[in-house]
Every structure is written in structure tokens, then in C-alpha cells.
Amino acid sequence: MIRGMRWRFDPLSLMWAMALFLVLVLLATIGARWGWLRSFFGDVLAVAWVYLVFKTFVAARVLPMALAALGVGLAVELGQFLASAWHLHIPNRALRIVLGSTADGWDVLAYAIGFAAVLAIEALREALRAARPTASAPRSSTPAR
């Protein structure tokens, strides 16, 4: 278990996860003819989506959760490799689209880019939050002399 992890509900992360899920669904359906954009960029976004789902329900540091999201992607890729090696076939078409059916080194690269993107975006969010001016103390009603 991750030290310092606790359960919580973050509605903003849920909103972003739902928006990203919609993009992923559009890529999987309408984007079927888009080749590289659908496959590679979809895998990049998949890691970010898993991270946002985790972030919706778990309060923990960014790195462990981003690593867990990367691990999910790598586990899917390992499953694809093992299914291919053992000549297994997923009969459900929708599940085959979601999980993929062929292992590919480019997918691993896409997952790594998604992982790096999550870290970069979270670092940028933290930098912007730190740069935001803090609320000053309330002013007194007497004018300054």
C-alpha cells in the first residue's frame, strides 16, 4: 500500500476523467481511420485517463499514482503479448478494442510519454498554484496616514 494514501472523492478529477474518456471513445470509434493518431495518441491519453481515475478516488503523491497508471498500461501490453504467445483471442469486439489485440513496442513508448505528460502537467499545475497570489489580511476600515 502507498504510504500516505487515503480515500477521497475529487469531483474536478472526475470531470477531467469523463472528458478524457469521451475523447478516447471518439478516438476508438470515429477515429478508427486516423491510424497513428488513434493508436499512439490514444495510448498516451489512456495512461492520463487511468491516472485521473485514480486521482478521483485516491489522495496520494503524484509519482506513485502516475507509476500505477503506467503499470496498468504495461500490464495491458504484457497481457497482449501473452495472449499472442499463447494464441488466445478475445471474442468480445468492444473489449478487444479497449484492451487491444497486439503487443507493440510503440505502445510502451506511448505509455511512457503519457506517464511523462502526467508528471509535467502536475508539475505545471503545482507551479501555477505556488505562483498564485495569496489572500492578504483584511484591511482595516481606518485610512492609512
Q: Does any domain span residue 134?
A: no
Is residue 40 over pLDDT 60? yes
Average pLDDT, the chain: 87
What pLDDT shows up at residue 137? 52
The answer to pTM > 0.85 is: no
Q: Whole domain around residue 65: which residue ranges?
A: 9-129
What pLDDT shows up at residue 143? 57
- 57-92: per-residue pLDDT in tens? 999 999 999 999 999 999 999 988 888 888 887 788
**How many independent structural domains does the chain possess?**
1
Q: Does any domain span residue 135?
A: no
Torsion of CA 91, 69, 20, 90, to 10 degrees: 0
Is residue 120 over pLDDT 80? yes
DSSP per-residue letters across 58-127: EE--HHHHHHHHHHHHHHHHHHHHHHHHTT-----HHHHHHH-SS--HHHHHHHHHHHHHHHHHHHHHHH
Q: Does any domain span residue 3?
A: no
The Cα 20–Cα 28 span in angstroms is 12
**Which letter, b or e, does each residue of 41-55 get, where b requires 16 or more Cβ atoms within 10 Å of its Cβ?**
bbbbbbbbbbbbbbb
What pLDDT shows up at residue 70? 98
What pLDDT shows up at residue 142? 57
